[in-house]
Amino acid sequence: MTDRIAKSKNSDTRNTDRPGLKINLKLQRKGFTLDVDLALPDRGITVITGPSGSGKTTLLRCIAGLEKAQGSIHFNDTTWQDNKTFLPTYKRKTAYVFQEASLFPHMSVKKNLEFAVERSQSRMAARKLREIVKLLDIDHVFLGEPHELSGGERQRVAIARALLNMPDVLLMDEPMAAIDEQRKQEILSYLELVKEYVYFPIIYVTHSLNEAARLADTIVVIEKGTVRAQAPVEEAFSDPDFPLPFANQLGVAFDVTIDHFSRKWALSLVRWSNDCAIWLNAGRHRPGESVRVRILARDISLTRIKIPDSSIQNTINCTIKRIRKDSDIAMAIVTLDAGGKTLLARITRRSVDQLNLVEGEAIWAQIKSASLA
């Protein structure tokens, strides 16, 4: 069995453009139709989002074989279902993390994880047990009982159990829904580690912009049972016309590298071109590491001249690519090219007029370090 759990970072050949899961499904119910045609990457995290009742969970259940729909599902060279074949759930090698941790209450944490190892029928799973326990920081609860754990600890154990099933695909259905905000941020940090640790696709359903921006390599938007849009995360967040269900939090998300860390200011400088660098609070990351930056359109202001005496320390020279109307008639969305990265600024139409902004011209974008995530 191929090791798809962990390899050296130097051997990372991740290609999130290569189809891994090919899905063509139709499911008819009273008052609801699922009609989906998707090709999902064989690595990284695909976030599926959309309004409640749009079919996200139904799609996950069909991928897992928990519900039967007409059509086909192929993973790499394996047919999971078509007009002649329907592999049952246990033969699809998927692992499923639900909203609730769903640990076996009569088993200790250790027994829950050992059950997954046994079920995987993989000698490799036994070798990975302690490694995954350490990755998800659950050593201190390893001998405990599920009822003794906090909600965040239970969900981390559930994620560990899913990984120890040695799946080909990990399915996660709003795994943060039952967890408080502080614990969510903790688990997101662990999921970022899991994302780098595994070499198989993760399909992740969420309503949360924060989760999508931090974790996604690919974004899929589903509405009324059909796929409305699909794009890599940077493209999705930088396109004002991409139908993300987070209109009031318009902004961009992209990966950058930590240039250096200032101990004096407890801030990190990230850079993506010779002329484009910004300070942000990313102290737990080291120089050379990649981090994902989220910049909201409402947190960018524009100026014709660079202002040196300002509390806004991040000032980037940009080119105006596009000026368009916002859904609010008083506002406008300005799309900027900043050293090859796209930024979005949401400003008033009065500001556009007073600054005499014109597409193709140079402008300075100002970004508060305190607003960056």
Tell me: the pLDDT tens digits for 268-312?
A: 999 999 889 999 987 677 888 888 999 999 999 999 999 988 899
Tell me: the pLDDT tens digits for 38-74?
A: 999 999 999 999 999 999 999 999 999 999 999 999 9
Comma-separated ranges of CATH 2.40.50.100 domains in the chain:
252-371
Comma-separated ranges of CATH 3.40.50.300 domains in the chain:
9-245
pLDDT for the residue 185: 86
Tell me: the pLDDT tens digits for 78-90?
A: 999 999 999 999 9
Q: Does the pLDDT value for residue 1 go beyond 80?
A: no
pLDDT for the residue 126: 92
pLDDT for the residue 359: 97
Mean pLDDT (whole number) for 99-104: 86
* Percent of the chain scoring above 70 in pLDDT: 94
Closest residue by Cα to residue 261 from 245, 233, 283: 283
pLDDT for the residue 10: 38
Mean pLDDT (whole number) for 205-226: 94
pLDDT for the residue 181: 84
pLDDT for the residue 5: 63
Residue 158, C-beta contacts closer than 8 angstroms, at least 6 positions apart: 97, 98, 101, 102, 103, 175
Distance CA 87, CA 371 (A): 48
Across the chain, mean pLDDT equals: 90
- Answer whether CATH 2.40.50.100 is correct for domain 252-371: yes
pLDDT for the residue 281: 87
Look at residue 327 and give its three-state secondary structure: coil
Task: Quote the tokens at residue 147.
Answer: 């009822």
Q: Which fold has domain 9-245?
A: Rossmann fold (3.40.50)
